[in-house]
A and B are shown apart, each in its own frame.
Chain A
Amino acid sequence: MEKAVVDRIVDKRHAVLLVGENEVEKIVSIDKLPPGAGEGTWLKVEFEGDELVAAEVDAEGTARVKARITAKMERLRQRGRKTSK
């Protein structure tokens, strides 16, 4: 199985997955998402062509990335604006 992340849900119907290292976009029906999956959830997926045939939530992977990104955002917020209002 391959790694993928749910980038966005469009119009409450389509889930846009970014699949693999290169984040190849695949659009699937939200019905195909495993329970508990939403925007920002990492999955392990199997595609046959454009069809999602298997998907499970990678809760551990999701939490790990979320923690890393939260830390980076905290650092960004430290820097503040530089130009004057």
Chain B
Amino acid sequence: MKKLALPLLALIVILGFAFGCASGYTPAPGPDTSPATTEQPTVPATSPAPASTPESPSPSTPTQGELKVHFIDVGQGDATLLQGPDFTILIDAGRHDRSDVVPYLKSAGVKTIDLLIGTHPHADHIGQFPQVIEAFPVGEVWLSGDTTTTRTFERAIDAIEASDAGYHEPRAGETFSFGSARIEVLNPARLTGNLHEGSISVRIVYGSFTALFTGDAEAETETAILARQPDVNALILQLGHHGSSTSSSAEFLKAVNPEVAVYSAAEGNSYGHPHEVVLERLRQMGVQIYGTDVNGTIMVITDGQTYEVQAQRR
């Protein structure tokens, strides 16, 4: 979107029309007006970090190949697949009363999962942990460490225990490498007993591409994250708590400064997610918005330098 050379822009517009999709060049955010398929902004790979980035911008990682970030349409729940050339990460595993995650992963060609993250123990996030763990070899599982008493949660931890997976409860400030991806843990610093406050939040760096996932962290937790002064700047932001107004404070959005925001929610859900106030805040900032309720499964494809967004439907 930024710094596109004119001929390239023209080409994209032409291709856009040729393939029957919106050009995706003018920032016209909102689920109703989002471009259906592709957009090809240029990631400022070598230019200085944007002004909103804290003093010590994190370095990019060496990359070879494509990362596909799949925001899987799992109804009113969350499941995001990060499929890289040398890593496979699943952040959350859908709702407990559906069984759509394993079939999707199989169709995407997943054979093994290096890291399975359950951002927090609610049933719309860890719902299909048992199926996923039974269907694929899983290297390592991360949970926040918060617990709950549902059968769904108990089945999830039973499945982890029955598997060969390693187990970790990540804490803010830790950094991990999975293949050519770096994972920076932003939350929790410690557990409070409030499951949303304990949501594992991670910033993924692949080349100069960045994406931020905060699970169901709410505004108080966003404030706590910012107070710890990590680099939160990200091109792609998954909106916290399904686009609820409990999350995505103006302050947090400003700090993240995303180009694209994605939320996962079911059409006509009982909570009215995503909330209009959040969408409006993003529109004011010129951020492109995609949602699984409107767009179905959304895929962001990057080579670590540039990215494009592909949506199942417009």
Chain A residues packing against B (C-beta within 8 Å): 5, 7-8, 10-12, 14, 16, 18, 21, 23-25, 27, 39-42, 62, 65-66, 68-70, 72-73, 75-77, 79-83, 85
Contact = CB atoms under 8 A, between A and B. Distances in A.
Nearest to A25: B97
A76 B167 contact: yes
Contacts of B124: 8
B239 interface: no
B166 A77 contact: no
A77 B149 contact: no
Interface string B258-288: 0000000000001100000000000000000
B114 to A, nearest CB: 7
Contacts of B246: 11-12
B154 A83 contact: no
B297 interface: no
Interface residues of B, number: 36
B160 interface: yes
B167 A40 contact: no
Contact of B149 (A11, A21, A27, A69): A69
17 contacts: A7-B152, A8-B122, A10-B271, A14-B270, A14-B271, A23-B96, A23-B150, A24-B97, A39-B195, A40-B150, A66-B149, A69-B153, A70-B147, A75-B161, A76-B161, A81-B140, A82-B164
B166 A81 contact: yes
A61 to B, nearest CB: 9
Nearest to B245: A11
B151 interface: yes
B255 interface: no
Contact of A83 (B150, B153, B161, B166): B166
Interface string B226-255: 000000000000000000111000000000
B134 interface: no
Contacts of A7: 122-123, 148, 150, 152
Give me the 6 closest cross-chain CB pairs, A-B, nearest first: A82-B166, A65-B149, A81-B166, A40-B149, A8-B122, A40-B148
Nearest to A20: B151
A83 B140 contact: yes
B63 to A, nearest CB: 19
B85 interface: no
A23 B151 contact: yes
Contacts of A39: 148, 195
A81 B160 CA distance: 12
B168 A80 contact: yes
Contacts of A68: 154
Given A7-B123, A69-B154, A79 B167 contact: yes
B139 interface: yes
B161 A85 contact: no
Given A7-B122, A24-B97, A85-B176, A18 B152 contact: yes
B158 interface: yes
B185 to A, nearest CB: 12
B32 interface: no
B97 A23 contact: yes
From A7, A73, A80, residue with most partner B Cβ within 10 Å: A7
B86 interface: no
A27 B124 CA distance: 13
Contact of B150 (A5, A72, A79, A85): A5
Given A23-B97, A76-B157, A69 B147 contact: yes
A62 B149 contact: yes
Given A27-B270, A65-B154, A80 B167 contact: yes
Nearest to B151: A23
B244 A11 contact: yes
